[in-house]
Amino acid sequence: MITSVDIALRLSLATLLGGLIGLEREFHGRPAGFRTNTLVCLGSTLVMLVSAYAFANTPGWSYDPARIASQVVSGIGFLGAGSIIREGPSIKGLTTAASLWVVAGIGLAVGSGFLFAAIFATFLAILALTVLDKAERKLLSTKHSMLSIEIHDRPGMLGFLSSVLGTHNVDIRNVTISQREGGTALLDFHVLVPPNTDTIALLDQLTEHESVCRADFHY
């Protein structure tokens, strides 16, 4: 039977490990930050402790320690879904949702006594959130962006805009056209922008045309 000291140590360790990952998320201004990750790890550890030990010595009970704990994995999906935000062509919050899922797993590991696995997983999670983030920015720096251009609806304008974007090596993935009042049209381009693109020069070249009212990027 687990002792009160062991319970206190495991809950404290879960608070520490969840807090470490939460600090990284808080530093980057994510919606699920320090307190959220701490509570997720603490809560999942408590659930694991209850599942594994609370009914272990109950006469006549046949229990499965993994039954309650398995609900944490599915239940954490609802919390993670709340941190995912769609902004135009891009989706933000997937990393935060994944970190919550990992934190829940760390808590379950602490509660079940797999302390080395929990500590090492915390180290790897922080490594992935920091070092791999910097590597990703260097190696995969092409940006998915939304370019909104309002124009006076004239023949050949779409071809002109496509030509200007092509000269700056901007790859057009999709375009949505909506008519507006006053004879203007709003074109929303889903584009891939290379890291060395001078976006200011690109916008200046677009707006130099007399039929272009405005142009701006939304990252």
Q: Is 100 helix (H, G, I), strand (E, B) or coil?
A: helix
Average pLDDT over residues 110-122: 90
Tell me: the pLDDT tens digits for 79-93?
666 666 554 444 567
Class for the domain spanning 143-218: alpha beta
pTM over 0.75: no
Paired residues of 191 in beta bridges: 145, 172
Residue spans of the domains in the chain: they are 4-139, 143-218
Measured CA to CA, the distance from residue 62 to residue 50 in angstroms comes to 15
Q: What does the pLDDT look like over 168-200, one tens digit per residue?
A: 888 888 888 888 777 789 999 988 888 778 888
